[in-house]
Amino acid sequence: HEDKKIVSSVLDLLSNYKECFSRNSLDIGCTSILKAHIEIDESKLKIQKQRPLPNNKLVQLEEIVLDMEKAGIITRADGHSISMLTNVILVPKTNKHMSTKADKLILKHQGILPEKFRFCSDLRPVNDAITNKTSIAMISPEQIIARMSNCIISSLDITQA
């Protein structure tokens, strides 16, 4: 009986304050507090030599890209304005079968792919091409903690439950 009461309370909390909770791993949130205008010297951009992905990872890459596009994290580039391309690599996320590097190697040699991959891209060339590098004073963790001294803070990640 007590468990049902707790579940009901949590569901009410999630319903009443749904804007405070991520709905999935792609719900990264946005802010209107700060907007940045980044100027890039396109002459410094380069198209990197392509490192092809194995066919068995292309399907996962396409799924990841489509999910990020639907979530508004990325947008498709107009093919006529692309002056820089960077390689993407898929890094396996660990799962219950991959607790050590040896486990990963054994599964890889058996042709077993991890269930999920992390999308990674080397954007150092883009950072090097930024012409209007400005510093923005960020609030320190100590200042945040001081401002929240009378608050109760809790973290609940039900997307991984």
Write the pLDDT tens digit of every residue in 3-51.
888 888 888 888 888 777 777 777 777 777 777 778 888 888 777 777 8
- Indicate the pTM of the whole model: 0.55
- Which positions ≥6 away from 132 have C-beta within 8 Å? 37, 38, 39
Write the pLDDT tens digit of every residue in 106-154.
777 777 666 678 888 888 888 888 888 777 777 887 887 788 777 776 6
For residues 99 and 107, the answer to whether their CB atoms sit within 8 Å is no
55-63: Cβ within 8 A, 24+ apart: 56/113, 57/90, 57/113, 57/117, 60/90, 60/113, 60/117, 61/88, 61/90, 61/117, 61/119
Distance in Å from the first CA to the final CA of the chain? 22
Q: Which residue has the higher pLDDT, 157 or 36?
A: 36
Local structure of 30: helix, strand or coil = coil
pLDDT at 96 over 50: yes
Confidence of residue 161 (pLDDT cuts 50, 70, 90): very low
- List the beta bridge partners of residue 120: 89
Amino acid identity, residue 28? I
> What is the mean predicted confidence (pLDDT) over 52-64?
83
